Structure 1
């Protein structure tokens, strides 16, 4: 009789272990944090159109390096193109857009792994009928709200 009980436990314990491992793996991706996709909201019309801003990055022997950022934003996507003088062109392309607390957040959606981030690459806000972008330039300006112009 005791061997029958032992055989049952030998069968039951591995089954419980497998069930526990499977449910643990399922929950691994569910942290308490909300992902960007959990809070997606289409931008209002005030964030749709063309936005541009130029930032100077550093002095060079042949002039001041700068980057001009041009964003074209519609209700589903933002597209970034840049023009530069003495700066590399990177992270151009499509961005996912999310509006949170009246600030438009842009998340890189292309294939360049160096451009992807859990945090928004750029943020756009409207304040007193003027627009500002955060995330432009290099170390000196990346955390500043830089004025930008909106057309269309």
Structure 2
């Protein structure tokens, strides 16, 4: 069972999630939550922030392209995280709504660049982690520039 406070459908792009979820079918996927009212959020929430009802649906963002809203480069990073580490806020259009996701990038990006989520086997070095390696995941999603 996952200890992730965002729920079982969360998509941990940082690699900090519970290792017990390694066998699930969400590995390498970017899944947003959708409520019956139509509101979409990333990450998903147990309760819809728009209407307060359970947010039980999912929207696959992994096959979509998004646009870089902003980005920054972290030059001081946690143990095992690449340095420097470029992070971007990416906007996906879903049914007329803007859904934003934060994640690392595979290459340099600029505001307005089009990117797509790609699965990465190792976001961090398991040998350098602070918590027990078997208690966490090291794969996840980064954003890759596209033409």
What TM-score comes out, normalization by structure 2 length? Answer: 0.24
For the pair shown, the structure with the greater C-alpha radius of gyration is 1
Structure with higher strand content:
1
What TM-score comes out, normalization by structure 1 length? Answer: 0.23
- Greater RCO, CA 8 A, separation 6+: 2
